Chain A
Amino acid sequence: MTLALLIGLAGGVGSALRYLVDQAVVRLLADRDRGLPWATFVINVTGSFALGTITAAASTGALADDTRLVLGVGLCGGYTTFATAMVDTLRLGLGGRRGWVVVNLVGPLVCCAAAAALGWWVAA
């Protein structure tokens, strides 16, 4: 019960962090984003790297399993978002940028899997 509450709290913190990073990236890029959803990309790549390190550290026993759940399922899970990635992509399609739909589906997933592998390599 306490563990579930901690996971939920970490998820709330991760979500708030996502909101702040989203705002910061949008502000930073201003009009130079070419209408592409860079904020979601930055969030998901950094979160995938972090979860890679956390999962690797737990696999070697360097991190307790409860800590892995709070930081991994809670913080990283709440921070990263699949739903926003899909809605961003839907908007590209609705905006007439059909070619970017496939790029924005496959590109971030490849980059996030690579970031997770890098994170695993760093921590294992």
Chain B
Amino acid sequence: MTTTTARRDSPGHGLAVALVLLGGFVGTLARYGVSLLLPVTGGWPLGTLAVNLTGAFALAWLVTRFADDARLRLLLGTGVVSGYTTYSTLAVELERLLADGRAVTAVSYAVVSLVGGIGAAVLGHRLATRGER
């Protein structure tokens, strides 16, 4: 995260860590909940896909809309939304699909994650900038 905000609203180091920790707790619980609701279907890890795409949208919206509120970005952005999404699960799921010889599913899952993820981020950013005007 770039630190372009004014120094006055930047929280101290201890408070920053505490905000991220609290947010990460909430985000991780939400991700775990989604993974229970959306199990792997036909080899497709739908839970991971759902959290990653909605999270990419939410984070892009949040950092654009609240660009000048460092505390809110730490709690909700670096904490809740970043903790809600996961890259390691995506990586291991891809590796397992490839190891099981399911290359087509693996590549499709990778493409949908990346194209969907950046598309969701663009949408979130556009929605937030439109609200500013």
Contacts and interface: CB of A to CB of B under 8 A. Distances in A.
Contact of A82 (B2, B78, B90, B94): B90
Contact of B52 (A18, A55, A83, A91): A83
A47 B82 contact: no
Chain B at the A interface: mostly helix, strand, loop or mixed?
helix
Bin the interface of chain B by size: 35 or more
A13 to B, nearest CB: 7
Contacts, number: 193
Contacts of B17: 16, 19-20
B83 A11 contact: yes
Interface string A54-77: 010000000000000100111011
24 contacts: A11-B32, A18-B24, A52-B95, A55-B92, A72-B89, A74-B32, A77-B31, A77-B88, A79-B88, A80-B89, A81-B82, A81-B86, A81-B87, A82-B52, A82-B90, A82-B113, A83-B58, A83-B60, A86-B120, A105-B118, A109-B94, A112-B90, A113-B94, A116-B88
B117 A82 contact: yes
Contacts of A19: 16-17, 20, 74, 78
